[in-house]
Structure 1
Amino acid sequence: MVIHGREPDWSYVARSVVKVLTVTAALLLTLTVGERALEVFVDVGDRTAQVYGTAARIANPDKRLSHGYTHSGRLPVTTFTMRGEPRRAGPSDGTTEYKIVEGLFGTVQAPLLDGPSGSLADAIDSVEAKPGDGRARATLDGLPPTLVGVGVVEFAHKMTTEQLVAFGRRHKICGGDDVAYIYEPSFYDDSSDPSSLNAIVWNRDMTREDDWAEFAYQCETEPERALAEFRRWVGLLDENDDLEEFELAYGSLKGAADEGVTYGLVFDRWKLADLRKLLDDPDVGTIHLADVAFDLDTWTG
């Protein structure tokens, strides 16, 4: 007995396969979007603040950026809002509102938070770019020692945490909101991708979003706590986090956390008399002064 099989309807088979693949792709997309949407509505507000709010402060040391707040609208978009003022030696001229917007797929927009500008930006960019030429001493000697200034102390060499603690003890430098640590200088190279990266400037207060939480600096040993907090923050990052708006890169941040050295200090309203003394320390290469003003606390006190 011979059984004659029917030729399969290959067009029907092809349509069925296409339907299966289409449904499978749709399910995978739904799961991916659903997972992302769950993150958006459950956790993204906190994570936007922790990752992108902190990144904005790292990349913009020319601004005193406040702790912020998040808002999720009807669309799966989260907005993190901060206020900030220029980091100048004199009194504030008022604050500006800055917004960081994270979309459904993790893309970030942060207008005017792509890096520092002005004289403090120039001072930070000078770290490791220009050797000390003695002009800092002449500049400080020519100004009244009672003035306060904003700028950068550039070290003569990379400083480990232990060396930085010893430096602070020698000069009675307490950790506080008036000092930040340059863990990586800014980077420019037209032949690389990206062609530029902002300096990594860190203060332990940058990750704190709760104004009521208990918080205290550790005076001379603050560099140890600051580096530990920076490493903890870098550990929160994912390689896919969109840091491009801040001209930061995961690899650079990870490298700085692993190396754990400091290239300089960004100082905020330090007395010029105290800065002048630092130039006599062989660990100090030079001082880049960005702004000076009268110390109003002294005049009104």
Structure 2
Amino acid sequence: MIPDFDPKKTRRAVRRGVLRTALTSALALAVVAVMLIGGLRLLQTRGDREERMEKVLGTALQIAKPAYHLDIEPCCDVGPLSMSLRVSAQPIRAIGAFNVGGGSTYEVRQNFFGRVEELPWAQLGNTDLTTMLANVGGTLQRRENIRKVLARLPQDMNALAVVELAQPMADQAFRDFLVQAGTGAERVAYEVRTGSVPITWDFLEETALSGFRAWVGELQDHDEPNLRRFDLDLARLRKAAKDGLAYAFVTDENVADLRKLIEDPRVRTVRLADLAFDLERP
């Protein structure tokens, strides 16, 4: 026997059916979204993209900002449409400089297609060390004037300086010069680019030039667009690596040692970038 038609029950049944359909659809869409996001994340990290992001972009940032100590965190923060690399940065100061302060953390981000879209350019501004590196090959201060400046400073005061060589030196000749001059190098400029930041490389390791050459050797043509975001290009990097000539170097020495360096005929000039003032000095 067919039951009597009940409009209320029918409406309730329809509502339950619509609700079940909506919930089922929403659940299905959520599952698809999760799978899509997961798939996009996997695509972001395919092959060696994370390793190359850290190696290529992290190193390019250090070359572009040689006046900072950079500490690159393990790569990467991966989203569905981008990957980011976190970098701690601290300005390089003379050893013992007052109020050095701690480093700050910044982000380098590349999009789904592997192109850099965010750099901490505004936060990592130029410092006096940046200026001194950009002055390499430029107007030469008279040696007498540099002597006078150094003479006014306490001889045991630490100073951060860019020492420009009179003639570029090949790797072994440069190492011999450092030993003979009794000085050290923290970073070496492998080109002259007056008015702009030259290509530099950390010299604290024994294999400075070979490390630079190894890094350049791993760069690919498809890295070119990203390198240009750092004001670099493959042609410049490859030439500097192939030539392997040191044009200048960053050193942190006391004033007495800088007075000796300015008298060395192999030195073109010494450019002071920072001094470590001792506020307790009588």
Bin of the TM-score, shorter chain as denominator length? 0.7 to 0.9
Q: Does 1:199 align with 2:222?
A: no
Alpha-carbon separation, structure 2, partners of 1:116 and 1:154: 23
Structure 2 match to 1:56: 61
Within 5 Å, which residues of 2 pair with 1:101-112? 101-108=109-116, 109-112=118-121
2:137 is the alignment partner of 1:162: no
Q: Which residue of 2 aligns with 1:24?
A: none
2:228 maps to 1:244: yes
SS of match in other structure, 1:290: strand
Moved more, 284-293 or 157-166: 157-166
- Corresponding letter in the other structure for 2:131: D
Tell me what 1:28 maps to. Answer: none
Greater C-alpha Rg: 2
Shift of 1:236: 1.1
**Residue 264 (str. 1) matches residue 269 (str. 2):** no
Name the counterpart of 2:23: none
Specify whether residues 286 and 146 from structure 1 end up closer, same or farther in structure 2 by C-alpha distance, changes over 3 A only. Answer: same
Other structure's SS at 1:70 match: coil
Aligned residue number for residue 185 of structure 1: 192
**What do residues 248-272 of structure 1 show as CA deviations (whole Å, max 9, x unaligned)?**
11111111001110110012x3211
For the pair 1:231 / 2:213, whether they are aligned, the reply is yes
Given that residues 90 and 104 in structure 2 are in contact (C-alpha distance below 8 angstroms), is that contact kept between their aligned partners in structure 1?
yes
- Structure 2 gap ranges (5+): 1-38
**Are residues 1:150 and 2:160 paired?**
yes
Given that 1:59 and 1:114 are in contact with CA atoms closer than 8 Å, whether structure 2 keeps it comes out as: no
The one of the two structures with greater contact order (alpha-carbon pairs below 8 A, sep at least 6) is 1
Residue type of the partner of 2:179? R
Q: Percent identity, aligned pairs only?
A: 31
Pairs aligned (count)? 235
Q: Shift of the alpha carbon at 1:159? A: 1.2
Write the deviation string for residues 217-242 of structure 1: whole angstroms up to 9, x where unpaired.
Answer: 4xxxx3xx211110000011112211
Question: What residue is the counterpart of 2:32 in the other structure?
Answer: none
Question: What secondary structure, in the 3-state scheme, does the structure 2 residue paired with 1:230 have?
Answer: helix
Name the counterpart of 2:106. Answer: 98
Secondary structure at the aligned position of 1:164 is classed as helix
* Residue number in structure 1 paired with 2:14: none
CA shift digits 1:180-221 (9 cap, x unpaired): 100013355xxxxxxxx631110156xxxxxxxxxxx4xxxx
Residues 1:287 and 1:204: Cα distance change in structure 2 (over 3 Å) = closer
1:77 aligned onto 2:82: yes
Residues 229/50 of structure 1: CA separation in 2 closer, same or farther (3 Å cut): same
2:209 partner letter? L
Are 1:117 and 2:126 counterparts? yes
Unaligned runs of 5+ in 1: 1-33, 189-196, 206-216
The aligned amino acid for 1:84 is A
Q: 1:146-191 CA distances to partner (integer Å, 9 max, x unpaired)?
A: 111112000111111122021012023356xxx1100013355xxx
Deviating above 4 A after TM superposition, structure 1's stretches of 4 or more consecutive aligned residues are: 36-39, 113-116
2:136 paired with 1:127 = yes
